[in-house]
Amino acid sequence: MPGACPATEQLAAALRGKQSSPTEAELAAHLAECANCRARLEELAGGSGWLETRAKARGASLPPASESLHKAIEALESHAPGQEVKPETTAPLSFLQSSDQPGILGRFGPYEVIAQVAIGGMGIVLKARDPGLNRIVALKILPPALAANSLARARFIREARAAAAVVHEHVVPIYAVDEFAGLPYLVMQFIEGRPLSERIRASGALRLEEILRIGAQTAAGLAAAHAQGLIHRDVKPGNILLENGVERVKITDFGLARAADDSSLTREGYIAGTPEYMSPEQARNEPVDQRADLFSFGCVLYEMATGISPFRAEKPLVAMRRVCDEEPPAAHTLNPKLPEWLGQMIQRLMAKNAAARPETAVEVAAELLILA
């Protein structure tokens, strides 16, 4: 046999291509004859066993890569998670028909548009005048990007019609559901006031009697919708309007979250709206019932009670995970002025498992009313 068996360090150096003594030729000559050193080298390389398995497995290999796969990988590489796409904050109102009338932005169907109120994932909200009845209304228009999707369009109309059937003092009344220039829209009462989200942003945690009053009215509004078999699916402070003066609660946007569900936006992996108030079952895309709204309602109570949204996160996808996995500290531990029973009620509403939540919004409303 040519040469003596090399030391382990010499074999290791050979693996790295760094050996000097013996030379590669000398080592090669030795290996050709010495089965034991071949086994030592292979073992040192870490090849024992697994490589044979892999080599054999190549017969039943992965489905072949394709052009589409490469495109997907390229798209992902150019879109690192550090750079999230920001939703547009101003909507192009190019779909309005121009108008010469002073104080009017333009026309949308029979309506004279006065101002843009808000824009969200689910729609553009405009303040408008209904010339027929001479009253101010709010128009909610499905954004053109979503309206291009026939499923989203059909869903928007169906959900809006169902929502229009709910008549309750704490639900924003819907006057009409229609379509204009390919854009479905709904006509609602225009509420002079501001959403609960702005209220909390301005003043932080609310006083106990306010929490109970706003909470009881919200629960009552939800109960009325649930009685008709309707689930809101996007209960959050931004959808709870407080009327000027009396601060009476008016819930808006019933069921509209569903319209965006089929959208091209979610197809591309973006989540419509903010998922931080979403129930875990929604985050996991599982079937939901009215108890999903109760979870979200619990988050709203929590935020009123502490000034903090319990599952808040910079990125929607992170918020989704927190909703599913994290237990925020009980509200009464963050705000010592809060009675413990309210903190516990909020915990029950925010139970991860729907079965552990209160059954109905009616009982929650009743409990809050008694205590208010």
Partner 1 sequence: MSAAPLTRPSLLLRLRDVDDAEAWSEFVRLYTPLVFSHCRRHGLQDADAADVAQDVMRVAAGAMPEFQYDAARGKFRGWLLQTTRHRLHKFFARQQRAPQAASETAMERFLDGEPGADEQARWEEDYRQRLFDWAAEKARAEFQPATWDAFWKTAVDAVSVKEVAGQLGISIGAVYIARSRVIARLRELIETVTDEPVATLEK
- For residue 261, indicate whether it is catalytic: no
How far apart (Å, rounded) are the C-alpha atoms in residues 50 and 36? 19
Distance in angstroms (rounded) separating the CA atoms of residues 225 and 168: 8
**With b meaning 16 or more CB within 10 Å and e meaning fewer, what string describes 277-288?**
bbbbbbbeeeeb
**Which one of 13, 44, 93, 371 is in contact with partner 1 (CB under 8 A)?**
44
What is the DSSP code string of 100-148?
-STT--EEETTEEEEEEEEEETTEEEEEEEETTTTEEEEEEE--HHHHT
Q: Which stretch binds partner 1 (CB under 8 A): 105-113, 223-231, 320-328, 353-361?
A: 320-328
| Residues near partner 1 (CB under 8 A), total | 62
Closest CA to 205 of 338, 329, 304: 304
Binding segment toward partner 1, per CB under 8 A, in 27-35, 106-114, 206-214, 298-306: 27-35
User: Shortest gap between Cβ of 267 and partner 1 (angstroms)?
Assistant: 7
* Binding track over 69-108 against partner 1, x by CB under 8 A: x-xxx-xxx-xxxx--------------------------
Among 100, 130, 178, 234, which one carries the catalytic annotation? 234
Which residues in 48-67 contact partner 1 (CB under 8 A)? 48-51, 53-55, 57-58, 61-63, 65-66
Residue selected from 5, 8, 88, 244 as contacting partner 1 according to rule CB under 8 A? 8
**Residue 83, number of CB atoms within 10 A of its CB:** 8
Q: Does the footprint of partner 1 cover residue 303 (CB under 8 A)?
A: no
Name the one range near partner 1 by CB under 8 A: 30-38, 203-211, 221-229, 359-367.
Answer: 30-38
Is residue 45 a contact residue for partner 1 (CB under 8 A)?
yes
Short-list 342, 350, 346, 294, CA closest to 323: 350
Please, which residue, 32 or 167, has the CB nearer to partner 1? 32
Q: Out of 4, 17, 86, 94, point to the residue binding partner 1 (CB under 8 A).
A: 17
Residue 22: asked if its preceding bond is cis (omega within 30°), the reply is yes
**Element of type H or E holding 174:** strand 174-180
Q: Cα 70 to the chain's mean position, in Å?
A: 28
Look at the alpha carbons of 275, 278, 280, 281 in this order and tell me if their dihedral is positive or negative. Answer: negative
Is residue 343 a contact partner of residue 332, using CB atoms and an 8 Å limit? yes
Looking at the Cβ atoms of 282 and 306, the one nearer to partner 1 is 282
Between 267 and 337, CB nearer to partner 1: 267
Catalytic residue annotation = 234
Binding site for partner 1 (CB under 8 A): 8, 12, 14-17, 24-25, 27-32, 38, 41-42, 44-51, 53-55, 57-58, 61-63, 65-66, 68-69, 71-73, 75-77, 79-82, 151, 262, 267-270, 284-285, 315-318, 320-322
